Structure 1
Amino acid sequence: MSSFVGEESAAGIVEQLKQSVEAIVAKTGPNSKFAQDLVKKIGDMQHKLESLTEADRHLFLAEMKGKFQETIERIEQRLTQHAHFAQTYSSSIVAAVIFLLFSIIALFGYKLYKSLTEKELKKQEKLKSKQQKKSKKSN
């Protein structure tokens, strides 16, 4: 009966490990080198675990259970930090693009305003010069 409990415990730990790895692969993408290395290491560990005797397997699992949990928590924490950094980076790029577009629109708006005011001034100067010519002719 203790053999059955050991098998159940080993299967449970391996299943938890597989679920955690699947979550990590989902976050990093299936083609990431990190995810591929992790899956390979876990596969190697599973083969070694299957080759151990029952007593050695039980001892190994007891020693490694806490280490697995700590390692998975650290990996998930790093992934969360990386995701936050990536989101911040993306947001800053979007903000920079919006600022650049706004600056370009403002520059063209200013140039257009300046051009229109210069045309208006030239038009007024031309009108004044015509009026001065008329007043000279009438005198």
Structure 2
Amino acid sequence: MTSNLAGNDDDHILDQLRNSIKAIVAKTGSHSQFAKDLTQRIGEMQNKLDALTEMDRHQFIAEMKDSLQATIGRIEQRITQHANLTSVYSSSIVSAMIFLLVAIFALFGYKLYKSLTEKELKKQKKLESKQQKKSKKSN
């Protein structure tokens, strides 16, 4: 009975490992070199595990459980950090594009304002010169 329970515990641990690896492969993409290497190494480990006797298998799984969980945790943390960096990079590109568009609109707005004020000044000077000519003619 204890052998069966230990076997179920081992199977449970292996199922957790498989699920974690599937999640990592899903995050990195199934065609990435990292995913291929990871899948190959897990396959090799599974073959070695299958070749062990029942007692050795339980001992191996017990020893490797914490190590595997820590390794998978580090991998998932790196993937999360990479995803965060990617989102920061994407948002910084969007921010830069928005800044560029605002700068372009500000430049054209300034040029338009300057042009309109120059035209207005020219109009006023022209009116003043006409008024001066009229005042000279009337004197």
TM-score by shorter chain over 0.5: yes
Q: CA separation in 2, counterparts of 1:120 and 1:114?
A: 10
One-letter identity of the residue aligned with 1:100:
L
One-letter identity of the residue aligned with 2:131:
Q
Q: Deviation above 6 Å: which 4+ runs of structure 1?
A: none
* SS across alignment from 2:120: helix
Tell me by how many angstroms 1:14 deviates: 1.4
Structure 1: segments with no counterpart, 5+ residues: none
Q: CA separation in 2, counterparts of 1:133 and 1:31?
A: 85
Q: CA separation in 2, counterparts of 1:94 and 1:127?
A: 49
Aligned to 1:96: 96
Aligned to 1:42: 42
Aligned to 2:130: 130
Q: Following superposition of structure 1 onto structure 2, how do residues 54-133 of structure 1 map, counting pairs within 5 Å? A: 54-133=54-133
Map Cα deviations across residues 12-58 of structure 1 (whole Å, 9 max, x no partner).
12110111011112222223222222122112211221122222212
- In the alignment of these two chains, the number of paired residues is 139
Q: CA separation in 2, counterparts of 1:116 and 1:54?
A: 90
Aligned to 2:20: 20
One-letter identity of the residue aligned with 1:79:
I
Tell me by how many angstroms 1:106 deviates: 0.7
Tell me by how many angstroms 1:2 deviates: 4.1
Q: CA separation in 2, counterparts of 1:79 and 1:70?
A: 14
CA RMSD of aligned residues (A): 1.7
Q: CA separation in 1, counterparts of 2:53 and 2:2?
A: 14
